[in-house]
Amino acid sequence: MRKLSLAAALLTASAITTPALADGHLRIVDEPLELTIQMNHARYPVYEESWPVEQAARELTGIHLINDTVGANMRTDENTGRTEALNLMLASGSIPDIVGSSRIRDFVNQFGPEGAFIPLNDLIEEHAPNIAAYYATRPDIEAAVKASDGQMYYIPYLPDGKYGRAFWIRTDWLDALGLEMPETVDEYEAVLRAFRTQDPNGNGLQDEVPFFARQWPELIRLVTLWDGRAHGSDTYHDFMIEDGVIGHGYIGEGYRDGIANLARWYADGLIDAEIFTRGSSARDFLLSENLGGSTHDWFASTSGYNSLSSEIDGFAFEAFLPPASPSGRRIEEHRRILVKPDGWAIGHTNEHLVETIQYMDFWFTEEGRRLANFGVEGQQYEMVDGEPIFTQEFLDSGPVNRNLYQVGSQLQGRGYFQDYNYEIQWSNEFALEGIALYDTMPDLLIEDFLGVAFTAEEQAVYDRTWGSIRDYMLERQQGWILGNGDVMADWDAYIAQLDEMGMQ
């Protein structure tokens, strides 16, 4: 008990005692142990030792993470998949004890077998009973995490739930213009054109932005409206699986046709002129300024913008089913994947491997998982009938996800198992109605690509070719939409170039 008191003395005043602290069953080390961490994510550039969640984890485990992030201003870019910060860290010659990042899988599966990261299979089996118990129920996910040598090199972020993103539209604008909810891509185009030309916000200006997106790859996803494919999982530009065969959306004819149509939409002003540069504030800005008409974004967080009806008369932003393609097919390409390429790994110079894997296992315990999902009891949530329930004060304090990142919860640079109950609690009636609408169409969701374990030879081919192939595809994609070149005329040369680069 003496050591527990010592640990308690290190706490901030805001931290509160939990039942777990009382018996210390989550304690990993008697004396506080410091481990360094690199953590990169688009939404939080470094690991903050002051996060209330970090403080609580210190109290419970005795492990203190010390921020040692290189390249904090070079965040891993979710839009392009580039991992400059991780490369900079590697180039610096010093790898912290723990490395957490979005898009970490390819990185550690390349450099882990070369010795830069610790293989985790035996450590998990011997010292991480909660992680091992999870994998015992999901061998498919364990397989998806493994590198070419059969080893796991990172503990992943495991999302929970079914639907992710949906199509959204200003239904009060539809009403204002006497339009019906679009059911096909042609009707969708007509609606976007009317938003552009018929002044649905009623200010006498042609200032509406018909389609916008916080992440520009969501524009590319619209190729599904012409039977193309964009992202094979909820990782942008990922490979896809179709009829049991691995392929890529960006070499398909549906993609080609979709890009041709999107270029036309862009030229006609149906798409945000700043789609590639406006960034993550696009939704917040364009909706609160009464300018944005339609997007493709997450159910829970997007539904929350309906509170703008208190400022914008009649404001209603509602989910609608993916419009049918010319062949009559409706798909929702985005869904919550079972395992993300995000999470954390152990650097090769770490001298406390057992304690580190035990610490990673802590986040898979009941108490750790609650901390990772809901924040700190008494601050963000209270226990009600045995369930963590966000306080009304917390829910009213602004965007829930943003506020959770700011206390150190829901960090995708940490390996943890999400609990969908965290999101249900702030899904309003617009989200729940949208989910019910999507549920009316059981074939809407399609198969996700979970990843594969390459052989060493395959991994070498991938590491040598994929980065430059991806960059070339993205460069051409953006150029075509902005009107630099014509995708139909350029297509054969594009495919030939990809073949030369090793795409096949």
Q: How far is the CB of 207 from Ca ion (least distance, A)?
A: 5
Spatial distance between the Cα atoms of 358 and 79, rounded to a whole number of angstroms: 33
Which of residues 201 and 294 has its CB atom nearest to Ca ion in the complex? 201
Rounded distance between C-alpha atoms, residue 196 and residue 175, angstroms? 15
Helix then strand count (H, E) for the chain reads: 22, 13
Instruction: Find the largest Cα–Cα distance for the chain.
Output: 75
Question: Minimum Å distance from CB 193 to Ca ion?
Answer: 14
Residue among 208 and 448 whose Cβ is closer to Ca ion: 208
Q: CB–CB of 170/312 below 8 Å?
A: no
Dihedral through CA 379, CA 43, CA 223, CA 340, nearest 10? -70
At 449, is the secondary structure helix, strand, or coil?
coil
Name which of 150 and 202 has its Cβ closer to Ca ion. Answer: 202
Cβ-Cβ contacts under 8 Å for 467 (sequence gap 6 or more): none
Cβ distance to Ca ion smaller for residue 211 or 494:
211
DSSP assignment of 143-171, as one string? HHH--TTS----EEPB--SSB-EEEEEEH
Choose between 111 and 173: whose C-beta lies nearer to Ca ion.
173
Please give the structure tokens belonging to residue 503. Answer: 């795409």
Query: Which residues are paired to 317 by β-bridges?
Result: 170
Shortest distance (Å) from residue 313 CB to Ca ion: 14
Q: Which residue has the tokens 């809901």?
A: 374
* Beta carbon nearer to Ca ion, 295 or 303: 295
Complex with Ca ion: residue 78 or 172, whichever CB lies closer: 172
| DSSP type of residue 248 | -
Please state, in angstroms and as integers, the Cα–Cα distance from residue 46 to each residue in 98, 245, 342, following that order: 13, 39, 15
CB 329 within 8 A of CB 254: no
Q: Write down the least CB distance from residue 205 to Ca ion, Å.
A: 4
Q: Which two tokens stand for residue 181?
A: 């909810």
Which residue, 170 or 256, has its beta carbon nearer to Ca ion? Answer: 170
Quote the least distance from Cβ 28 to Ca ion, whole Å. 59
Binding residues for Ca ion, rule: CB under 5 A, are 199, 201, 203, 205, 207
Query: Whole-number minimum distance, CB 202 to Ca ion, in Å?
Result: 7
CB of 204 to Ca ion, least distance (A): 7
SS3 84: helix
When the beta carbons of 77 and 199 are compared against Ca ion, the nearer one is 199
Long-range contacts of 173-180 (CB under 8 A, 24+ apart): 173/200, 173/201, 173/293, 175/314, 176/200, 176/202, 176/314
Q: How far is the CB of 303 from Ca ion (least distance, A)?
A: 24
